[in-house]
Structure 1
Amino acid sequence: MSFPWAKHYEPKQPLMRWLDEKLPLPRLVYNSIGAGYPVPRNLNYWWNFGVLAGVALVCQIITGVVLAMHYAPNALVAFGSTEHIMRDVNGGWFLRYAHANGASMFLFVVYVHIARGLYYGSYKAPREMVWLLGVVIFLLMMATAFMGYVLPWGQMSFWGAQVITGFFSAIPGVGETIRVWLLGGFAPDNAALNRFFSLHYLLPFVIAGVIILHIWALHIPGSNNPTGVDVKGEQDTVPFHPYYTAKDGVGVGAFFLVFALLVFFAPNLLGHPDNYIEANPLSTPAHIVPEWYFLPFYAILKSFTFNFLWIPAKLWGVLAMFGSILLLFFLPWLDSSPVRSASYRPKYRVFLGVLLLDVLVLGYVGGAEPIARNVIMGQIASMYYFAHFLIILPWISRSERPLPLPTSITEAVLAKHGETAHAEPALAH
Structure 2
Amino acid sequence: MRLIPDSMAARTIAVMVAGLTLSHLVSMGAYGIDLLAQSDRSVEQETVERFIAARSAILQAPEADRERTAALLSRRALDVRWGRSAVVDEGEPEHPQLTAIRTRLLEVVPDLNGSSLRLALADDPDHPEAAGHMVLISAPLPNGEWLNLRSSLGDPPMHTPTNLLLSTGLMALAVFALSILLIRSATAPLRTMVRAAERLGVDVTAPPLPEQGPSEIRQAAHAFNEMQARIKRLLSDRTQMFAALSHDLRTPLTVLRLRAEFVEDEEQHDKMLADIAEMEEMINATLAFLRDEGTQEVSKMIDLTATLATMCDTLTDAGRDVEFSGEPHALLYAQPIALRRAFRNLVDNAIKYGHRAQLVLSTDAECIMVDILDEGPGIPEAEREKVFQPFYRMERSRNRGTGGFGLGLTIAHTTIRAHGGSIALSDRSEGGLRLTVSLPRTLK
Shorter-chain TM range is under 0.3
Superposition TM-score, scaled by structure 2 size: 0.20
Superposition TM-score, scaled by structure 1 size: 0.20
The structure number with the bigger radius of gyration is 2
**Larger helix proportion, structure 1 or 2?**
1
